[in-house]
């Protein structure tokens, strides 16, 4: 899984062979089929495990995320838009590195991508400050979901665009802008 994640993130799904993945894992190609039926199945598994894997938070040195913390939302936004995540393409969230591949893939890959996105939204949503009491409970709940979805989209989209820019200063400015807007719509202090 780790070998596949690094290679898929670096080169894309189509440009990585099973031989490369297995060589990176210190295994033989024949051993692959003991675990997966196809490269697409492995790809789906790689997509699904990043944000749902409890070890994801330790990917980037100096970036701390405690999924049990009440402050997990700001931690996730900071981690996602961090310089460490920006620079560490191989250990990147697959939502940033692979969205083009996912849109060209089958339903299983899109479902895996959706699972990761929904997990991120869920983590962000539970850490949002409570809405004002005046609104109906259903409206408050929908507002929290809407804000969390927008924050997740700012994180993923901001990182995708930042990585596509040649100008490093502009990329840093964009990541900072996305973080500021995410914090603003969530009501977090920056």
Say what the pLDDT of residue 155 is: 96
Q: For position 61, what pLDDT does the model report?
A: 74
Confidence at residue 105, expressed as pLDDT on a 0 to 100 scale: 76
The one-digit pLDDT tens for each residue of the chain (190 residues) are 889 888 988 888 888 899 999 999 998 888 888 888 888 888 878 876 666 665 554 567 777 788 788 888 999 899 899 999 999 888 888 788 777 777 887 787 788 788 888 988 998 998 897 755 556 777 788 899 999 999 999 999 999 999 999 999 999 999 999 999 999 999 987 6
Burial of 28 per CB tally in 10 Å (0-12, 13-18, 19+): exposed
Domains and CATH numbers, the chain: 48-186 (1.10.357.10)
Place of tokens 């692959």: 32
Nearest residue to 149 (alpha-carbon basis) of 173, 174, 112, 114? 114
CA atoms within 13 A on the CB side of 125: 17
For residue 145, the model assigns a pLDDT of 94
Q: What's the confidence (pLDDT) of residue 58? A: 55
Q: How far apart are CA 151 and CA 48, in angstroms?
A: 20
Per-residue pLDDT, 40 = 81
The answer to whether residues 77 and 183 touch, using CB atoms and an 8 Å cutoff, is: yes
Residue 190: per-residue pLDDT: 67
């Amino acid at each position: 899984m780790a070998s596949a994640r690094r290679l898929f993130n670096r080169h894309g799904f189509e440009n990585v062979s099973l031989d490369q993945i297995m060589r990176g894992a210190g295994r033989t190609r024949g051993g692959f089929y003991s675990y997966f039926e196809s490269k697409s199945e492995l790809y789906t598994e790689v997509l699904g495990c990043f944000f749902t894997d409890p070890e994801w938070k330790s990917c980037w040195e100096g970036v701390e995320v405690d999924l049990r913390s009440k402050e997990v939302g700001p931690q996730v936004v900071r981690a996602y838009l961090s310089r460490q995540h920006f620079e560490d393409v191989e250990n990147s969230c697959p939502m940033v590195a692979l969205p083009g591949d996912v849109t060209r893939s089958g339903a299983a890959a899109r479902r895996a991508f959706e699972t990761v996105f929904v997990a991120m939204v869920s983590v962000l949503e539970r850490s949002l400050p409570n809405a004002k009491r005046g609104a109906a409970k259903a409206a408050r709940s929908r507002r929290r979901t809407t804000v969390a979805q927008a924050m997740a989209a700012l994180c993923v989209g901001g990182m995708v665009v930042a990585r596509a820019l040649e100008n490093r200063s502009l990329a840093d400015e964009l990541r900072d802008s996305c973080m500021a807007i995410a914090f603003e719509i969530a009501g977090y202090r920056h």
